[in-house]
Amino acid sequence: MLHDSTFLQAHFEQAFPMAALVSGLDLAQQGPWYQRYEQLAISPSQQEILDSFTRKMKILSLTGPWCGDCALQGAAFARIADACPEHVEVRFLPRDESWAELIVSNMINAGTRVPVTWIMAEDFEPCARIGDRSLSRYRSMARKALGPNSNVLAPPPEDPVQEVLQEMINEVERVQWMLRLSPRLRERHGD
């Protein structure tokens, strides 16, 4: 569900940057987050895309500290924000009872899954909601779970971790173009 901008802004303002979120976790839970962050590197061509951004955007991720996909996607969004600090700000909320309204209103396939991530305009107007796993992760899971009968036609990525980073960059770039072409924002910014 795409909530209204007031709801999303209130949650974003209570959320944590990745470093603050991870530093509050148990040591065993911190490891995967730091490991994924270190494994991810923005390539020159990816940096060129991020450098082309002109609109500010906010990213809010409802995440599970225990969740491997959350650590991977969270680290990917943190890398994107670190590479484009003038235009991308990312924050995280841990999935716990403190955020019950957000959790219950954002079920995926009738389950309380994580991560669930919202990408918003500079004024917190919602533009996209993604979750839980990326396409490449589902393809990998299908190959493992279903074997040769999986019908996964795309070849496995050479580097699955970097593939998730690219998928998150693609989603952020898609929203950036949405914002750049938005009549209301073009009027606001005079471009």
Q: Which fold has domain 5-189?
A: Glutaredoxin (3.40.30)
User: Average pLDDT for residues 68-93, to the nearest whole number?
Assistant: 98
pLDDT grade for 39, boundaries at 50, 70 and 90:
very high
Which residues face 57 on adjacent strands? 88, 121
127-166 tens-digit pLDDT: 999 988 999 999 999 999 999 888 999 999 999 999 999 9
Length of the chain: 191
Instruction: Give the pLDDT confidence score for residue 110 in this predicted structure.
Output: 86
Q: Is the pLDDT of residue 1 over 70?
A: no
Question: Is residue 75 within 8 Å of residue 67, measured between CB atoms?
Answer: no
By CB neighbour count within 10 A (0-12 exposed, 13-18 middle, 19+ buried), where does 66 fall?
Answer: middle
* Averaged confidence pLDDT in the chain: 94
pLDDT grade for 20, boundaries at 50, 70 and 90:
very high
Q: Is the pLDDT of residue 3 over 90?
A: no
Instruction: Give the pLDDT confidence score for residue 50 in this predicted structure.
Output: 99
Q: Is the pLDDT of residue 99 over 90?
A: no
Q: Dmax of the chain from CA atoms? A: 54
Q: Which of 48-52, 62-66, 105-109, 120-124 has the lowest mean pLDDT?
A: 105-109
Instruction: Give the pLDDT confidence score for residue 109 in this predicted structure.
Output: 87
Residue 114 Cα distances to 110, 149, 153, 181, angstroms: 12, 28, 26, 30
User: What's the whole-model pTM score?
Assistant: 0.94
166-183 tens-digit pLDDT: 999 999 999 999 999 999
Q: Is the pLDDT of residue 116 over 90?
A: yes
User: Average pLDDT for residues 89-100, to the nearest whole number?
Assistant: 89
Q: How far apart are CA 129 and CA 120, in angstroms?
A: 9
pLDDT grade for 97, boundaries at 50, 70 and 90:
confident
